[in-house]
Structure 1
Amino acid sequence: MAGTLQVTRSPERVEILLDRPSARNAINQAMVDELHAVCEELERDPRVLLLGGTGGVFASGADIAELRERRAADALAGINTHLFSRIAALPMPVIAALDGYALGGGAELAYATDFRIASPTLRIGNPEPALGIIAAAGAGWRLRELVGEPLAKEILLAGRILTAEEALAARLVTEIHPAEELLDAARALAGRILRGDPAALRETKRVFAAGAHEHPQIDLEAQAVLFESPEKLARMTAFLERKHA
């Protein structure tokens, strides 16, 4: 059976294209399982992750045919919730390149990433109540953090779907590029991120995700580790040598 992902690997990043064109890249159980396998790989060997979709679509949502058959036990199992939390917790930054539809579960996957950039055709939101369910895989709390309570309620309760320009104005996405340039723009963003020391990037992401009660101690402990790093010494020495050259 064909997989649901196109995966490209390099020493510094992994690129994934969701690839179920006949279903507009709807997220089904097979895709969830394949994404978990990629997460396991990136937990062992941290690299930047770039997520996109084939066919001019990021992800039109969760697979409705599968959702229709799910019952209470499936909801409590948190099938998409645990995957998206795992993606959010990956050691290195995650970039979503959003083309076309990012709806329902597709939007929630995007909310779990660290950076979101878009093509002009983006339509992003959570129409789940129209199907008799809620957006239960992170939108109920991530979206408020990302765009604020009033707009989050418009999206979650009133079914508002944002255009690319509206998402940019709300800072839900940070860049808009023509569809044919979107993946290259995501790669360029990955390149800017990777100018930083990977260890410093991992610690920054870990500290950023910490709870308020953990600060400032977690910041100081992370900095203490990095202060002993040979990479810190090499980078600062190179900076000073350039400055005085």
Structure 2
Amino acid sequence: MTTATTIPNTLDTRDFAALTVAEHDDRMLVELTRPEVRNAIDETMVAELHAVCTHLENHPKILVITGTQHKGRGIFASGADIGQLRERRRDDALRGINNTIFHRIAQLPSPVIAAVDGYALGGGLELALAADFRVATPHAKFGQPEAGLGIIAAAGGLWRLKNLIGEAVAKEILLAGRILTGEEALAVHLVTGVHAPEDLLDAAQALADRISALDPLAVRISKQVMAMPAGAHPGVDNIAQAILFESDAKFDRMQAFLDRKNNK
């Protein structure tokens, strides 16, 4: 007889070295904690992010990713660990080490929020681009300096950045080394809000509150349908709506709306 595997309700982070995790009923807060190397993304951090994704794929909830402080300054992620990156060869590139984890984060069932203070360069920006929402401080620095190191932004930067902010500004960043401040990122819609450093996490949590107030299943299905290719619409929309039309939440939420309207 095959015994069913029980998936733990909480993530075991006792062996984590690169991330600090706080889990709540409706969300998970993940802090990148390698301040001594400006949160450079190494294989340990990637492995721990995979563990986070495994958990959230089985227990969907909102994910908030943020950085840490170093010498009084905020840092999101300064990029991939150059020491490790320098030693990687063709087979490592084909493995898509960072590309795979960022794609997995982007595909999580529930929305992902990146709260960015300080450097979000290279892989750091690509990690932020994998999120559904980005909030930042005026001190944030967004850039893709890979071409200056003899490589490309191969973990999503080349296409996610163009899709999000348009080809003209994306080319300035990718081909001419432009670095955007938080305010500049807001102007091109790379981020949805700019906040003082002491208010950044509260702003991310407030956004998570707004998401959490909606029906989780409707949010999850909306995210999945939005990611479908153009040819899938409108058929996939009708199928998704058919699922939601049978959900208890649809009846309960609509009845609550009608009750409020009738009681005015």
- TM-score w.r.t. length of structure 2: 0.92
Q: How does 1:1-245 map to 2 (within 5 A)?
A: 3-55=17-69, 56-245=74-263
Q: Which stretches of structure 1, 4 residues or more, deviate above 2 A after TM superposition?
A: none
Q: CA deviation at 1:29?
A: 0.2
Q: CA deviation at 1:2?
A: 5.9
What is the alpha-carbon distance in structure 1 between the residues aligned to residue 57 and residue 147 of structure 2?
Answer: 34
What is the alpha-carbon distance in structure 1 between the residues aligned to residue 97 and residue 42 of structure 2?
Answer: 10
Structure 1 unpaired stretches of 5+:
none
What is the count of residue pairs matched by the alignment?
A: 245
Structure 2 unpaired stretches of 5+:
1-14
Q: CA deviation at 1:120?
A: 1.1
What is the alpha-carbon distance in structure 2 between the residues aligned to residue 153 and residue 119 of structure 1?
Answer: 23
Task: Say whether the 8 Å CA contact 2:16–2:48 is kept in structure 1.
Answer: no
What is the alpha-carbon distance in structure 2 between the residues aligned to residue 33 and residue 142 of structure 1?
Answer: 23
What is the alpha-carbon distance in structure 2 between the residues aligned to residue 66 and residue 20 of structure 1?
Answer: 15
Letter in 1 for 2:149: L
- TM-score w.r.t. length of structure 1: 0.99
Q: CA deviation at 1:223?
A: 0.4
What is the alpha-carbon distance in structure 2 between the residues aligned to residue 150 and residue 232 of structure 1?
Answer: 42
What is the alpha-carbon distance in structure 2 between the residues aligned to residue 186 and residue 241 of structure 1?
Answer: 32
What is the alpha-carbon distance in structure 1 between the residues aligned to residue 173 and residue 211 of structure 2?
Answer: 30
Q: Aligned to 1:16, what secondary structure does the other structure show? A: strand
Letter in 2 for 1:30: T
Q: Aligned to 1:135, what secondary structure does the other structure show? A: coil
Q: CA RMSD in A?
A: 0.7
